[in-house]
Amino acid sequence: MTKTKWTTTSDQITILPKSHYTLYGLIAFAAFLALGYFTKNELMGSTRTLISYIIVFGSVPAIYFALTRNTIIFNRITQLMTVKLFGIIPLKNIPFSNIAAIEPVYINGGAFEFKVFLKSNRHGKGISLTKQYGKESDENATAFIHEVIEPVEQWLGITAPAADTLVSAIPESQFSRPVVTSFENYKIDNGIYTISQQKIGGVVLAGLVIAGGVFYWVSQGANAGLFVPLFLIGLGLYLLSVVLKKVDLDTNTKMITVTTAGGLRKKDYAFHHFAGFSIVRNTTNFAHTGTVVSLQMSVGNSDKITLVPLKAFTQTNKIEDFLNETSTILGKETA
């Protein structure tokens, strides 16, 4: 009842990604019956009230039960991934050739789910295949890898993640990337590539927050506590330091320089420490709110990886171009 369900044949795999909604439907149905029982006198006293109650409150468990029948079908013969609402209404027919990967996506506190990502939006929110799992050793998740992901990715011609290494998707440094000659995400000055950022809006926001803190302090006078104005001013200064962050990739010195706090702090990394890209999809209330691209830097003799955030994207279809440009600058491209 709380597990992702699927069926397999030699040529087709059918997944019910919302099958765990059955439990939610039962809870909603029990609440519907309980509320109806305690308000039965009012409901039975008016036909209109009873009908309204059934439509409004009865629709909740009905929708949950209907969503449990949502299906995603991988068909080896037709080479299509089909998404059906309620298991009946076709929503999408996606050719296998447009599927980039099936990967675990981590959400909060180690929870994760498996998603399909398309080549047309490789780093977007993806299409959910499973429920959210609380731990990597979950038996349902392990079975899903062996019984669904492995055969599907054989059909797709790509490599499935090992069951015991869910955290590590294929490192970006292993992907072949084309050499690019035009750079839309960087400003170029004598071999120094600076990441382009829209800063005006952020500076204005930071200024307003700081001004709000100062205004509160001045307007309240001696009655003003310290916490609120100092919090607002501190928050504004933090936002300003983030907005004014600057990342330079210098092809002359082969160094990456990250400047923060308006130039007060600088950190340098050598090109040869680059070990790959980290791509993190941010969520708020389980909704995709953007994707952050960072460099994985292997610094020193330890195995520890340092993440250097480069840029946050809300338009995820632009990420692939950014990765290609950055890879070309760092000299990690594969022609």
- What is the tally of structural domains in the chain? 3
Is 297 inside a domain boundary?
Answer: yes
Cβ neighbours of residue 166 under 8 Å, at least 6 residues apart?
A: 104, 112, 136, 141
Query: 181 with 214, same domain?
Result: no
Query: 310 with 223, same domain?
Result: no
Q: What is the pLDDT, as a whole number, of residue 155?
A: 93
CATH number of the domain bearing residue 120: 2.30.29
Cite the DSSP H helix spans in the chain: 21-38, 40-44, 47-67, 139-144, 150-156, 200-220, 227-243, 319-330
CA-closest candidate to residue 273, choices 215, 200, 335, 331:
331
pLDDT-based confidence at residue 222 (cuts at 50, 70, 90):
low
What single-letter amino acid sits at 322?
Answer: F
Q: What is the pLDDT, as a whole number, of residue 252?
A: 92
Query: 92 with 165, same domain?
Result: yes
Q: Residue 233 sits in which domain range?
A: 198-244
Query: 121 with 224, same domain?
Result: no
Is 331 inside a domain boundary?
Answer: yes
Q: What is the pLDDT of residues 227-245, one digit of tens each?
A: 777 888 888 777 777 777 7
CA-closest candidate to residue 117, choices 335, 319, 328, 275:
319
Query: 187 with 318, same domain?
Result: yes
The mean pLDDT of 242-265, rounded to a whole number, is 83
Q: What is the pLDDT, as a whole number, of residue 91?
A: 94
Query: 110 with 214, same domain?
Result: no
Q: What is the pLDDT, as a whole number, of residue 168?
A: 38
Would you tell me the crossing angle of helices 200-220 and 227-243 to the nearest 10 degrees?
160
Is 55 inside a domain boundary?
Answer: no
Lowest-confidence segment of 51-55, 81-85, 104-108, 308-312 by average pLDDT: 104-108
- SS3 state of residue 262: helix
Is 93 inside a domain boundary?
Answer: yes
Q: What is the pLDDT of residues 63-75, one digit of tens each?
A: 999 999 999 999 9
Is 271 inside a domain boundary?
Answer: yes
Query: 212 with 108, same domain?
Result: no
Counting Cα atoms < 13 Å in the Cβ hemisphere of 52 gives 8
Query: 233 with 165, same domain?
Result: no
pTM of the model: 0.65
Is 32 inside a domain boundary?
Answer: no
Counting Cα atoms < 13 Å in the Cβ hemisphere of 297 gives 22
Query: 74 with 158, same domain?
Result: yes
Is 42 inside a domain boundary?
Answer: no
Query: 94 with 83, same domain?
Result: yes
Cβ-contact 294, 136 below 8 angstroms: no
| Neighbour count for residue 197 (Cβ, 10 Å) | 16
CA-closest candidate to residue 20, choices 103, 101, 156, 113:
113
Cβ-contact 310, 195 below 8 angstroms: yes
Report how far residue 136's alpha carbon sits from residue 2's, in angstroms, rounded to the nearest whole number: 16
Q: What is the pLDDT, as a whole number, of residue 262?
A: 66
Query: 73 with 155, same domain?
Result: yes
The mean pLDDT of 309-335, rounded to a whole number, is 80
Is 147 inside a domain boundary?
Answer: yes
Query: 256 with 209, same domain?
Result: no
Indicate the average pLDDT of the chain. Answer: 83
